[in-house]
Amino acid sequence: MADDRPSSSSRPDKHARRFRRYDGGDPLSAPVDLAKALDAIGDSVMGGTSPERAMREYLRRGDRDQIGLDDLARRVSERRRELLQRNNLDGTLQEVQKLLDRAVLDEKKQLARDVALDDLDRSFSEMRLENLPASTSAAVSELRDYDWKSARARADYAKIQELLGRELLDQRFAGMKQALEGATDEDREAIGEMLNDLNALLEKRAAGTDTPEDFGEFMEKNGQYFPENPSTLDELLDTMAKRSAAAQRAFNSMTPEQQQELMQLSAQAFGSPSLMQALSQLDQNLQSLRPGEDWTGSQNFDGANPMGLGDATGVMQDLADLDRLADQLAQSYSGARMDDIDLDAISRQLGADAAVDARTLRELEKALRDGGTLRRDSAGRLQLTPKAMRQLGSSLLKDVATRMHGRAGLRETRNAGSTGDRTGGSRGWEFGDTEAWDIPRTILNGVQRRLGASISAGAGVSGMRGRLIEVDDIEVAETEARSQAAVALLVDTSFSMAMDGRWVPMKRTALALHTLITSRFRGDHLELISFGRHAEVMDIEQLTALDSYWDKGTNLHHALLLANRHFRKHPNAQPVLLIVTDGEPTAHLEKSGEVFFSFPPHPVTIERSIQELDTSMRLGATTTFFRLGDDRGLARFVDSMARRAGGRVVAPELDDLGAAVVESYLGGRSSPSPGASSGPMGDEQGGYFGRGWWV
């Protein structure tokens, strides 16, 4: 292959253009979709898995539309097994045996029909052919000085020596077997000179006396033998050492009998032992300069397809590629990243489609790490960012809406629920306003301001300068006042919630409600309260990251205390109390602040819980209990509590818990009077349809 590098004396044309295959993926493909990945990662995180592990698990499993690392690793394993089960290492020996058998047969035929041949010579030749050793290598050696009478037999025997030489060279220089087919004596002499030059250069490197000029002179003379076109001696060393080590592993994989046959045959390559001597010296030099390569490994081939020495070396390189890919795809070592995966090797071994799948996974990991989805906390641990929480919450909210409506043709209204109906007036913007801008008035204010400044300066209309809009120009559309709600979502975090598979649905529900309120009803005040042995106010990040743990007790009393405190902080807001639980209250707070626990529930615990529920009722709270599970005692308790508070009980399936809670919030915050029971989904008192959340 010609060397297309510019010589030192030539100057590159500044208008020249070089083209090569684009390897950056499909330029027309859509960007990676983080929505599905974030949903899966979010579910794992809410189930107690760390974000780092959740991301790794998603990349490993993939999803319905995205192949994961496990599937790629399976294909790597299948490809490796196929190479071992399809091939064997007898190819060169079988080809030599075939040529030898044909040469001997042709020679016997020639002896039989050559009437001019002396009978004694004929008998001696026939006896020699009949008594050849059983070993192929020994038979070839035995016939080294044989005087062939058949021209065809002589040619086949010469092919044996030529084949051995080409195979031995193909082991170290890929493609040499085909390149040297029909080679002349001059070609073989040139090969010998190249090997001598290469060994001399490697010996200089071992002694530390080589220079870049030495490498340049070598490549200028012998570059046609190196299609990889290495730019440095180290690149050349790396390429040759990998193939030479693969050749050694192929040799190690042969049976002792095959190894012995090959070693004896190799000495007869090209009819001279000089080639084998030069190659042995080359192997020694490469091994001393690159001892880190695998020179001792072996494989078990048991297929029916015979391979020559060069092909076997190529397969050994493929197997090494596949072993490296298996390690890279496993991502089991410290600091593993998708960037470690060799896409070129995947394309070589599994095809372009597999490389595209791997590239997509790499881009997905990069988007998750660098796109504001994951971040490291002060302890260096990965966690979901607020942006990721919003994206995850929006996805959950869409799922909730689908379950609530259950029919197609509905679309989300961007500003639904953010303000009341417009009055037709406008006012200047103030910090914290969420109303829509009055665009005509805002632009008019900016024009008037700029025009007034220009006239004052004596420049007229043509002299208008400055920003089109300043903050003081902004006006917002006035809207009718709307009611605000103080929402307390109480979620049971006792161990039974996790044990019975209710942990993740509970968290998904909390996140969906949090997203709805913070994005659509920003004037409402949400408090998330978890209650196990004791109750605690949590932000959404704490709750979604909360791991399940053995917490003996269900302290509804403490949770109601915190909820009533929240209601009192917002006296002008409509209280909405939402309680998600799967067990009767078994704990309460004593006056000392200590937790009292008893199972079965103690009457005092029940009494304290009822007292706080009565307080919520006096504060005007609309109350809904969400009963999870089929416990009869729990059913009796929550039914009686709901009747006492004028609220209601919902017993949803786990998949419908989020929809039930959101529906109750939207209906409860719009109830006309405290304590009234909100109707079913889409109630006529102004539930989610009345608020215009979805249209």
| 166 or 372, higher pLDDT | 166
Instruction: Give residue 420's pLDDT band: very low, low, confident or very high (50, 70, 90).
Output: low
Instruction: Give residue 461's pLDDT band: very low, low, confident or very high (50, 70, 90).
Output: low
User: For position 423, what pLDDT does the model report?
Assistant: 65
Which of the residue ranges 240-249, 306-315, 365-374, 524-533 would you say has the lowest mean pLDDT?
365-374
Average pLDDT over residues 339-362: 92
What digits encode the pLDDT tens for the residues 618-657?
Answer: 999 999 999 998 888 888 889 999 999 999 999 888 888 8
Highest-pLDDT range among 33-37, 395-399, 425-429, 521-525: 521-525
- How is residue 412 annotated by DSSP? B
What digits encode the pLDDT tens for the residues 63-96?
Answer: 887 889 999 999 999 999 999 999 999 999 999 9
| 612 or 25, higher pLDDT | 612
Burial class (CB in 10 A: 0-12, 13-18, 19+), 316: buried
Instruction: Give residue 417's pLDDT band: very low, low, confident or very high (50, 70, 90).
Output: very low
Give the residue from 343, 288, 283 showing the smallest Cα distance to 313. 283
Query: Is 551 a residue whose pLDDT tops 80?
Result: no
What would the 3-class secondary structure string for 36-93 be?
A: HHHHHHHHHHHCCCCHHHHHHHHHHHEECCEECHHHHHHHHHHHHHHHHHHEECCHHH
Instruction: Give residue 693's pLDDT band: very low, low, confident or very high (50, 70, 90).
Output: very low
207 vs 160: CA distance, rounded Å: 38
> Cβ distance 124 to 164 under 8 Å?
no
Which of the residue ranges 95-104, 420-429, 571-580 would you say has the lowest mean pLDDT?
420-429
Query: Is 434 a residue whose pLDDT tops 70?
Result: no
- Per cent of the chain over pLDDT 90 is 45
Instruction: Give residue 450's pLDDT band: very low, low, confident or very high (50, 70, 90).
Output: confident
User: For position 366, what pLDDT does the model report?
Assistant: 84
* pTM, entire model: 0.65
686 vs 514: CA distance, rounded Å: 20
Which of the residue ranges 331-340, 456-465, 538-547 would you say has the lowest mean pLDDT?
456-465
Instruction: Give residue 668's pLDDT band: very low, low, confident or very high (50, 70, 90).
Output: low
> Cβ distance 214 to 222 under 8 Å?
no
What digits encode the pLDDT tens for the residues 189-236?
Answer: 899 999 999 999 999 999 999 999 999 999 999 999 998 899 999 999
526 vs 347: CA distance, rounded Å: 52
Question: What is the H or E stretch that residue 656 is in?
Answer: none
Average pLDDT over residues 515-541: 90
121 vs 119: CA distance, rounded Å: 5
User: For position 682, what pLDDT does the model report?
Assistant: 34
**CA-based max dimension of the chain:** 132
Q: What is the mean pLDDT of the chain?
A: 83
Give the residue from 342, 322, 340, 320 showing the smallest Cα distance to 331. 340
Query: Is 8 a residue whose pLDDT tops 70?
Result: no
Domain extent listing, the chain: 34-86+322-384, 90-300, 422-479, 485-691
Instruction: Give residue 26's pLDDT band: very low, low, confident or very high (50, 70, 90).
Output: low
Query: Is 550 a residue whose pLDDT tops 90?
Result: no
Q: What's the fold here for domain 485-691?
A: Rossmann fold (3.40.50)
Cα dihedral 324→327→328→331 (10° resolution): -170
β strands within 389-538, DSSP E: 422-428, 475-479, 485-492, 525-531, 535-538
The position carrying tokens 């909405």 is: 576
What digits encode the pLDDT tens for the residues 120-131?
Answer: 888 999 999 999
Instruction: Give residue 4's pLDDT band: very low, low, confident or very high (50, 70, 90).
Output: very low
343 vs 56: CA distance, rounded Å: 19
What are 261-265's contacts with CB under 8 Å, separation 24+? 261/93, 261/135, 261/136, 261/137, 262/92, 262/93, 262/137, 262/309, 263/137, 264/135, 264/137, 264/138, 264/141, 265/93, 265/96, 265/136, 265/137, 265/140, 265/164
Query: Is 28 a residue whose pLDDT tops 50?
Result: no
